Amino acid sequence: MNERSEQLFKKLMHAPDHYFQISELSQEFQVSERTIRNDLEEIQTFLSEKDLPFLRTKRGRGVQLLLGKKERVRAIAYLHHIRKGHYLSPQERFLQLIIRFSCRQSPIFLYQLEQELMISKSTLDADMRKLRLFLQKYGIEVKSHQKKGIYLEGNEKKIRAMIRAVILIHVPSLEFLEVKRKKSLSAQEQLVVDYLGQERIEFINRHSYREWLGKADGQGPIYAKHIVLILLIWLRRLEPVSGKEVSIYADRRAVKEEQTNFLILLCQFFKRRISVAEVTYITQLIESLHPQKVIDTADWTKAQLVAIQLIEQVEKRLKICFYERQTELHKGLVRHISGLFKRVKNQVQIANPLTSMIEAEYHEIFQAVYSFNPVFNRFAGAFLTRDEIGFLTIYFSTALSQIKQAQKVGYRAIVICHHGTTTGKLLAENLKELFPVEILAILSSKERSLIEKLDIDVVFSTIDLRIKGVPCLRLSPILTVDDKYMIAHFFTKKRPKNRLVRRESEDTMLLKETINALEQNGSVISSEGYQAVLEVFEKHHLKLDKKEIQPMLEDLLIDDHIIFRESCDSWQEAIQAAAEPLLIDQVVESSYVRAMVDSVKEYGAYIVIGPHLALAHARPEDGVKRLGISVLVLSQGIEFGHEEHDPVRLVFCLAAVDAHAHLNVMKALIQLIHDREKIQRLSKATNQQQFKRILYKK
């Protein structure tokens, strides 16, 4: 008797005075009426074999099981001696079907599935309809063949992405991927472990840590577990079916030797075929989970444009200005969004276990980020998931907490967070905002040995810790009401050491307010005047945060860097002409111009960022000496190959020393690309002064 039949039997046995309708039982167990009748037949056989009273049926009323007290005791005893089958819920059946069709082993047929899942044909037909509907969005079809049985047909990359998505839907925590598990596996986790292979899980955890998982530590165990999952699915799908090789389409590029060696070791150990294309595919996929890694120029540009517009959107929705923390906020967002672009490209989804808590605690910020979805879709061709919105919300919540902080007197503390540095930073900022505390460091659980070297009063940790001589308070990664009460209660009992928490960027704010006051009283601050004010501040030993003092477009775009031409023979010539003033003034080297041209050849017309407007640029390390910008105005537009925004009449050339010093310049260009009328007028300008009047007119 299978588990569902046993549950049905117990339900009938414990309600002897009740008649159950077949339709009622079908709805409760979420199977067809035919399956329920099959289970009742199995129960009837069991009753007959054990010499127990049969089921009773009455037309119009249903089925009943009437057992005496002694007969019930006998029946329960018999059940304990029966080897149980495993009854699968509808959700578990769905997962099982995906796994069976993805195994690439011996053929599987529908009649076998009926027996394996212990369901009727009509229930299986209903499950298959749901499965086909789900697979449609991945462009995958369920095919049936007389000899091959049931199999999946579609792009292999999409099949792998689908398997990841299904696993994340059913077991999002991915705790089953841990070698030392803290609890027994659920039915769905066991299905996934059986599919992926316990031996493979242990091997990858043991051998891939140095090559890839170690790099993910800074992002927290969430990323490390996703890397393990990606490797396991990749390895599982490498199995050939009917002698046919797996077909993967991925761009070839250089792969680090140690990573290639590990992949070869993995495939040799488990006897799988591997190709150069497969090495490239899996390496690119995993590196999409490392936003701190160097990214390609196209993604670097898009990430900056998206980050700036996202900040503006959140500021507009919340009526809050992030100016004081804009550099740090922009830097974090660019790093995360660049990785997000790669994940979208490779169809990788990251589960965020804190999403619900983040949405509840920071609902307004969460909704503001959600409202940015249409803009993100234009850049990425996909919408932000709730989990990704949760990650982005953390950056804004952290910045907001930093802005709200004032000078306080209080404790020295450290934060230990096992959810990654970004979440740990948010926790630290919330603690500083709410309580008189200075956070000296944010550590992972592996760095607890450093605690003894620090002069601290308390440890805030998201895991249980015991440290001699230092009180440890366990908190949720997102502070709850209970957490806040516990901390407040702790502070009432332990006296602080009256250490001052430093105030950040006071001198920088003084500089900004001084410049604003001069401008509000009619003064026009030139770039030379601005530099003179800076020198006065530094002469009097005032400390300035150079990241927060960023030049405006009008500070950088000088007359000699605005050039006019009737036409260019090619987009390559247009980029070279736009960069010529920067070369003459030694702002960039000739290698930078070559890098700009090569980037367009490799990634396409990504530098065309608006109607008739291109922003030519490369990476700072390609030959930038100092920050600068120039622009080429073309009477006759040039084709870059952009479907929507060609022909290009304005070619800006940006030389950036890092990813953030030119933030105000980028903001000005984003405003420009949304003003088609101004672009048209600029393209008709004939001299520098006319161009600047049009460009800077509000």
Q: Which residues are catalytic?
A: 617
CA 348, 352, 358, 360 torsion: positive or negative? Answer: positive
In angstroms, the CA 267 to CA 278 distance is 11
In angstroms, the CA 620 to CA 630 distance is 16
Closest CA to 253 of 277, 223, 224: 277
For residue 434 the two structure tokens come to: 């709410």
The DSSP call for residue 59 is T
Helix axes 326-345, 663-673, angle to 10 degrees: 60
In angstroms, the CA 169 to CA 278 distance is 26
Long-range contacts of 79-83 (CB under 8 A, 24+ apart): 79/1, 79/6, 79/9, 82/1, 82/6
Closest CA to 667 of 650, 684, 654, 680: 654
With vertex at residue 370, the alpha carbon angle to CA 367 and CA 375, rounded to the nearest 5 degrees, is 140
* Phi then psi dihedrals of residue 60, to 5 deg: 85, -10
In angstroms, the CA 297 to CA 620 distance is 10
Closest CA to 434 of 467, 461, 400, 465: 400
- The DSSP H or E segment spanning 651 is strand 648-655
Residue 569 identity (one-letter amino acid)? D
Letter string b/e over residues 311-330, b meaning 16 or more CB atoms within 10 A of that residue's CB: bbbbbebeebebebbbbbbb
> What's the full length of the chain, in residues?
698
